[in-house]
Chain A
């Protein structure tokens, strides 16, 4: 049970070095401005979608109950989904690790002698680093969501799960296109830039052997894969190439089709402040006899990658309620200041902090769970009511308390544990529990204050040193009689 998996390595950015990367962004006024502006924009768009507080609250409660109801029956629903999809002609594959998922996808590509795979937006494919695996196998993997296409051209990773290129200005994108797209002159007109992307990618949609996509909801009762998007590239990837491969985390299942409308409404309104996305694409089978388009093969890859670890614990299971709307990052004061890349994980922001420890282990992510002021904004806006602050506190305990911890074991439990620090806190607790010890300690403090160092690490980098007062409050009160 919960045998440690080989930690999956991130190619572009190590999970360590979080502080240094965060500092870089904080020191960069342009990036700070980009993120601030973008987050203000997204927050106001969301707010405009929920003018009625009662409606919002009751819909969130419904969304939460739908997600919890379905998670409670997850293993059964996975089997039901598999049976239904198989009956519909969609082939189902299971992967415990990112490597297994890549192997499955590349296996399908090899069977079709695929040269080019076009990709719709899929954070799970980012999670498994599919583009690198495909490249290593000699298969082209081209992102087709405009934002993803831009970050791929720049050799970067998405900095936001909904708006991947949010950290880039149009001037930077103009330069990127002029330098990388053959026959394109510099223009920073947004419409012109989008038309360049459209032209390039339309060629690729025709050529591609494989279309890859994510999944927003998988419906067990009908065997349907649902995709939310605005651009139409998701529909291109799932319709134009002869083979469609969808990949999803095992948690994105709902039992009933009627569970979809409330979740869809919460998702698009919370994510981008749209009452609905331009397209909602529901796929239930490959091309049937007589039909003139659509892929003749459809595959679904179900990925675990640590989700079953979160599932094993009643509190941590709530992490899996997430519908990946990104509202928690849009409202996060930390994300707004440091941006998505600083985290070094596929999923940044509050959702990244609570899901990444299950994917990468606490060894690699212990710093992330402390990077929160616990202001509570994320939990307040989450459309499915994930108590993110509570989960952060729990994960801090898991990361920084002495092992072994309560069942079930999390990967990397106690990775941040330090004997010295915990001795200091134990001493502190003892002093504060005993009035006589407390008196002795404060008396000593006021006498020995001269010995307190003037440099106190991170504290004094921006603040005056901490020093006990020359006279204790109790002494001052005594003097006043």
Chain B
């Protein structure tokens, strides 16, 4: 018998004969979390992610590129990693190089340029597919066009988020978007820059991931 069969046999030999009712998660959320309207959701999202040390800027659908440029200039960053296969990445690649911001593209497999990503890229720009108001959380589904390490390795991560895609809760997000019917290779919730309190409970940012997280929030009430 394999370890697998032995473990399963042990468990089966003593399984409870009755299985209780499935837990009613929907009912708990219906009675314990309020569903807010768009502006309030955006406000709540912003409050919590700022508490976690992220910077949030309200931008318009047409004006985010200008804000992106301003953020980079203020931080004196002249290089931004972009995802060339995405609409927002292509737009940046078309405009920012003219303003003296180099825009290297994440267009080849990591194996061919790992050291450069770790050592020579100060910032990266991605989109968030959605967000969660309750906890101030960004939802990213990295893919072939916008790879996983973009939101992890560069010290500054700038994220474009449409306020219309903010959900009240994590539960609402996964239900509304039908996550159970298909998750990507990697789905991520990000709620601030990387941090640790492992030394004497003293909070320090920039543990292993980004030291700074900037959110460009499209449609946020000014």
Contacts and interface: CB of A to CB of B under 8 A. Distances in A.
A222 B185 CA distance: 11
User: Interface centre among A73, A150, A231, A232, by most B CB within 10 Å?
Assistant: A232
B184 A231 contact: no
Nearest to B25: A258
Given A278-B194, A284-B184, A313-B14, A79 B170 contact: no
B20 A96 contact: no
Interface string A261-275: 110110000001001
Given A232-B194, A239-B149, A73 B19 contact: yes
A231 B196 contact: yes
Contact of A74 (B15, B107, B136): B15
Interface in B168-207: 169-171, 174-175, 179-180, 182-202, 204, 206-207
Instruction: Give the interface residue-count category, chain B.
Output: 35 or more
A169 B201 CA distance: 10
Contacts of A55: 32
A277 interface: yes
A174 to B, nearest CB: 9
Contacts of A141: none
A369 interface: no
B115 A206 contact: yes
Contacts of A96: 3, 6-7
Contacts of A308: 7, 10-11
A302 B186 CA distance: 21
Interface in A286-302: 286-288, 290-294, 302
A233 B207 contact: yes
A144 B208 CA distance: 9
B118 A202 contact: yes
B134 interface: yes
A279 B149 CA distance: 13
B14 A311 contact: yes
A282 B179 CA distance: 11
Interface in A174-230: 190-191, 193-195, 197-198, 201-202, 205-206, 221-222, 224, 230
Contacts of A294: 147-148, 185-186
B180 to A, nearest CB: 5
A198 B208 contact: yes
B99 interface: no
B10 A232 contact: no
A242 B201 CA distance: 33
B180 A262 contact: no
Interface string B20-61: 111111101101100000000000000010001000000000
B144 A291 contact: yes
Interface residues of A, number: 99
Interface in A83-107: 94-96, 100
B206 A194 contact: yes
A231 B184 CA distance: 23
A94 B109 CA distance: 32
Contacts of B19: 69, 72-73
Contacts of B115: 206
Contact of A292 (B110, B179, B208): B110
A270 to B, nearest CB: 15
B222 interface: no
Contact of B198 (A147, A261, A287): A147
Interface stretch (A58-66, A358-366, A372-380, A449-457): A58-66
B183 to A, nearest CB: 4
A93 B193 CA distance: 34
Contacts of A169: 200
A206 B114 contact: yes
Interface of B: 2-4, 6-8, 10-16, 18-26, 28-29, 31-32, 48, 52, 106-111, 114-115, 118, 134-137, 143-144, 147-149, 152-153, 169-171, 174-175, 179-180, 182-202, 204, 206-210
16 contacts: A72-B20, A150-B198, A195-B206, A198-B208, A205-B208, A222-B180, A222-B183, A231-B198, A260-B170, A261-B174, A276-B136, A287-B185, A291-B143, A292-B110, A311-B14, A314-B16
Interface of A: 1-2, 37-38, 41-42, 55, 58-59, 62, 65-66, 68-69, 72-75, 78-79, 94-96, 100, 144-147, 150, 163-166, 168-170, 173, 190-191, 193-195, 197-198, 201-202, 205-206, 221-222, 224, 230-233, 235-236, 239-240, 242, 250, 256-262, 264-265, 272, 275-288, 290-294, 302, 304, 308, 311-314, 317, 408
